Amino acid sequence: MKERVELNLDAFVTAEYPKVVAAVGLITGNRQDAADAVQDAIVGFLAKPPAREITNVAAWITVVASNRARDIQRSKAAESRALAKVGVDDESSDDVLDSLDIDVKRAIETLPLQQKQVCVLHYLLDQSVETIAEGLGVSTGTIKTQLFRARKALAAQLRKEDHRG
């Protein structure tokens, strides 16, 4: 059986955790949910490591956590709708994207989840295409394709916003 690399939890939390939570927050738009999701992903990584050796653990945790955060948000949205029906306001929203430039925020919100993930890994965490591909277990061509489509969509969206003034 292939031996897996042990995750140095203390080193990862110290060096990577703050950036990964920020990345997941930008992907999902909610910092609090991002922190919970990242911790859930790390616990899952330690309890049942992936079936392959991963060098870029930060990319793996970012993607797993952003998917988890999306699920959390869906649950919360359903809960909010239920509370709204009985007249209770839910004030748990924490939109991280509000701190973004309004044009960039609008452009990023239009992207599919995978394109948001690869954009944040590339532009925020400064990870190369090859590093991201290794961390996610896909080919570099897949990452290039997603990044190309994301840049194309963002450029078009930003031009549109620019014309609006």
CA distance linking residue 120 with residue 70, whole number of Å: 16
3-state secondary structure of 95: strand
Considering beta carbons, is residue 18 or 81 the nearer one to other proteins? Answer: 18
Residue 25 binds to other proteins (criterion: CB under 8 A): yes
Among 28, 33, 57, 67, binds other proteins (CB under 8 A): 67
Structure tokens at 152: 């194309």
In whole angstroms, give the CA distance from residue 62 to residue 121: 8
Which of 28, 30, 33, 42 is the binder for other proteins (CB under 8 A)?
42
Smaller CB distance to other proteins: residue 4 or 81? 4
Give the DSSP H/E element, type plus range, for residue 160. helix 140-164
* Burial tier of 73 (Cβ tally within 10 Å: 0-12, 13-18, 19+): middle
Contacts with other proteins, residue ranges (CB under 8 A): 9-10, 13-14, 17-19, 21-23, 25-26, 31, 34-35, 37-48, 50-52, 59-60, 63-65, 67-68, 96-97, 99-101, 103-104, 113-114, 117, 119-120, 123-124, 126, 135-139, 141-142, 145-146, 151, 154-155, 158, 162
